[in-house]
Chain A
Amino acid sequence: MEASPSSDRDLVLRVRGIAKTFPGTRALDGVSLDMRRGEIHALIGTNGSGKSTLIKILAGIYAPDAGGEIAVNGTPLGPGALTPAKAKEVGLHFVHQVPAVFPMLSVTENIAIGRGFLTGPSGRIRWAEQRARTARILERFHIHGTPDMPAGLLGPADRTLVVIARALQDLDGAHGGVLILDEPTASLPGPEVDRLLDTLRKYADQGQAILYVTHRLDEVLRATQRVTALRDGRNVGTVATAGMDQSKLVSLMLGHAVDRERRQDAYVPTDDPPVLAARSLAGGAVAGASFEVGRHEVLGIAGLIGSGAADVQRLLYGTLPMTSGEVVLDGRPFRPEGPRAAIAAGVAYLPPDRAHEAEFPALSLRANLTAGRMERYFRGQRLRHDAERSDARVLIKRFFIRASSTEQTQSTLSGGNQQKAILARCLRDQPKLLLLDEPTQGVDVHARIEIHKLLREAAQGNTAVLVVSSDFEELASLCDRVVAMVRGRIVGEVKPPSLDSHRLTELAHFAAESA
């Protein structure tokens, strides 16, 4: 660590030896971090490295384990002392990936919300003053907009800046505290990213300390002075960005350790025609992607949020319209009108957001396993509940689901078991093609290994698997072959033996410039 005593006056945030233990896992293990006035400091790390746990501790959402130390502007805050209200009071301001903007309200109202309006004696809002004040704020924060326009008409970068201005407006030029931005550019188009980074640079020049959390390493190189990497809950280095390049950043983030589980057995392509062949597939964020998935193959698509990888799945499942391109599934042209058509053609889909898109939380595990497939139990004008239950029991066993009975309410299962139940529903009818988006999100290590095993078995059976994940270590361990997607296009392909998370991270993070 490079903490020089001379810079103590400029030290706005000091984090020392912070740990956080959850039942069964140690999410953070002695993390330290210093932030100085006027610096943009990047925080990087793969999924599960502990970035979001650290942010939630700073935001006062999680209390850290006893023993660490957090100090803002020299004031120490013991464990438990940092609440969301306290974080705001001492000057830790957070802006999340999807900025909290009210699109129907004016820019003036958006900036006043959460801070309070200027009111007259009768309680009325003093609109003229409020507008004048907003105009000054817009100028100070370099926001391209007017006080009266609805915030929905602002450009994407300006929306983020409005949220920043809402948080920082009271500082009146004297930038204090720390602005913490959590993946602010994940869904911004290229030119908007440039504008946001330029503007952040101006804030920093005025003395604002900015902690910039991102997956996009090119932005780290362009906009930050120092970078801290977390790996497995530990701080693995804080370095000056100036001496870094792309591959040094990846090495810092991933270390030199080999992936924990890596595929050893090479996939042998069969002579059979591919199960799925997509040519110039386009629609949503996908801008002309061509790829094939062979029989018994697990193909991965590595892509960051907004890369289009997730939309490939939606196009193939019929929830997003294809604008152009051709798809052949098992020898037949395939262009699903909707999920029903996709299912009828032999496609199954495991969506990324289990709670909102995949499960029926209030219904039983049995109902979740058999959802959408009830006709087969309707014989002699009634439902054969026994047959349904016995099918459910078979699936519970085959997919290693741990539950007290078939009747246990779905939402009371653990995350891993919920996910295995959804996977069981996807695989029970031996689909020709299984689409998976973030298949082990919110799942513990053990369940993750089991899910990978089940997916390998399915592929050895008769199901071709197409998996999208932002966890590249997972892709490296699970897939026979991985293509990387950047801005809707496939920019590279990796096969064993060169298939590892380093290679995928480089492709998905950096091909952006070359594409």
Chain B
Amino acid sequence: MTRTTSSAALALLQRYFLLLLFAAVVVGFSIKLPDSFATVLNFRNIVGNQAVLAILSLSAIIPLVGGQFDLSVGSTLGLTSIATASLLSRFSAPLWVAVLAGPALGATIGWLNGLLIARLGLNSLITTLAVATVIVGFISWYTEGVSILTGIPTALTDMGSNLWLGLPRPLYLLGAVALLVWYLLDHTPYGRYLQAVGSNPNAARLVGLDVGRITVLSFVISGSITGFAGVLQVARDGGANPQTGGSIALPVLAVAFLGVTSIHPGRFNVPGTLLAVFFLATTVSGLSLVGVDNWVESAFNGAALLTAVALSTLVGRRRAGA
């Protein structure tokens, strides 16, 4: 049965292709740039800077598993970070209130998205794009375009910049979120029901699943995780910028779809998503250290999204035996 062996080998290669590519990128840049790329500082920078993007991507794959897009992750990130910073700075709220307000506000926006999509049956791309646009308008009205930079307690900013055991603290938070999302998707009945809804909503309804409730809940969970990322953004920046999150939705999608191609090919999965985040960030970091201009990041992300979508579509067709 050579055909089975070769297709098993192919499947294995497919699973770890991105990991191999990642390793090649790291080794390649390390050899070329031993003094700037292959340093603890650069590693800490990448991890620290990408923690928010990684958490957002994990948040975005939850509705995606259920077959729905969420283009409002970026503006929800912006709004929750403004809300957190504003509570601390303008209203002198206790830290715990401000920290809980982010996820709570994110969950509310998710609930609204979910209701519009699941109960009214609106298209998720259009709905979340519209909600995102409204939020952006609201942010610029509320902040008048000015960043909130004062009154952020050091207890919060320490979370964003200090180290624990030599690793940036945001990495631990990312680890916790990753564990949570992995548990939710792979180890709870809810995660499996969400997969069923994403695979075939009609059949899901006929096996007795409450498709509407499952869909709404996916947006609520995703929104609260995005809100948590908003709080972390404040901790990283020591404040909140009204521009935050404006252009992050597309990199998030690039990461999510690139993640589909690896580890568990054919479906949105946590390890694949993490791998995709750090592959993209490391490559971009290496390229900019080599001296390539800034525009490369955007072009590279776009190209990666295109490649990822093409690959995952082809993988899907192969798996479907067509």
Contact = CB atoms under 8 A, between A and B. Distances in A.
A361 interface: yes
A339 B195 contact: no
Contacts of A360: 195-196, 199-200, 203-204
Interface string A374-399: 11011000110000000000000000
Contact of A409 (B192, B196, B204, B320): B320
Nearest to A382: B187
**Most A CB within 10 A of own CB, among B208, B209, B210:** B208
Contacts of B2: none
Interface string B141-164: 000000000000000000000000
Given A361-B320, A367-B192, A374-B192, A349 B206 contact: yes
B206 A357 contact: yes
A383 B189 contact: yes
Given A374-B193, A411-B321, A363 B207 contact: no
Nearest to B207: A372
Contacts of A372: 193, 196, 204, 207-209
B259 to A, nearest CB: 16
Contact of A374 (B189, B202, B316, B321): B189
Contacts of A344: 208
A340 interface: yes
A344 B120 CA distance: 27
A319 interface: yes
Contacts of A319: 205-206
B237 interface: no
A412 B316 CA distance: 11
Contact of A363 (B196, B205, B206): B196
A288 B33 CA distance: 81
Given A356-B200, A377-B189, A383-B187, A362 B206 contact: no
A506 to B, nearest CB: 34
A351 B206 contact: yes
B199 A363 contact: yes
B196 A383 contact: no
Given A360-B196, A367-B196, A383-B192, A425 B187 contact: no
A351 B206 CA distance: 9
Interface size of A as a range: 20 to 34
B247 interface: no
B309 to A, nearest CB: 16
Interface of chain B, helix or strand or loop or mixed?
Answer: helix
B74 interface: no
Interface residues of B, number: 26
B31 to A, nearest CB: 40
B314 to A, nearest CB: 14
B199 A339 contact: no
B305 to A, nearest CB: 21
A305 interface: no
Interface in A16-63: none
A361 B322 CA distance: 12
A382 B186 CA distance: 9
Nearest to A404: B4
A198 to B, nearest CB: 39
Contacts of A370: 192
B9 to A, nearest CB: 16
Contacts of A425: 207
Given A367-B192, A374-B189, A374-B192, A339 B320 contact: no
**A-B CB proximity, top 3 nearest:** A372-B207, A374-B189, A360-B199
10 contacts: A317-B206, A339-B207, A340-B210, A360-B203, A363-B196, A371-B196, A372-B193, A378-B188, A411-B320, A411-B321
Given A371-B204, A378-B189, A411-B320, 19 more contacts: A319-B206, A339-B205, A351-B206, A356-B202, A357-B202, A357-B203, A357-B206, A360-B195, A360-B199, A360-B204, A361-B200, A362-B266, A362-B320, A371-B192, A372-B193, A372-B207, A378-B188, A383-B192, A409-B321
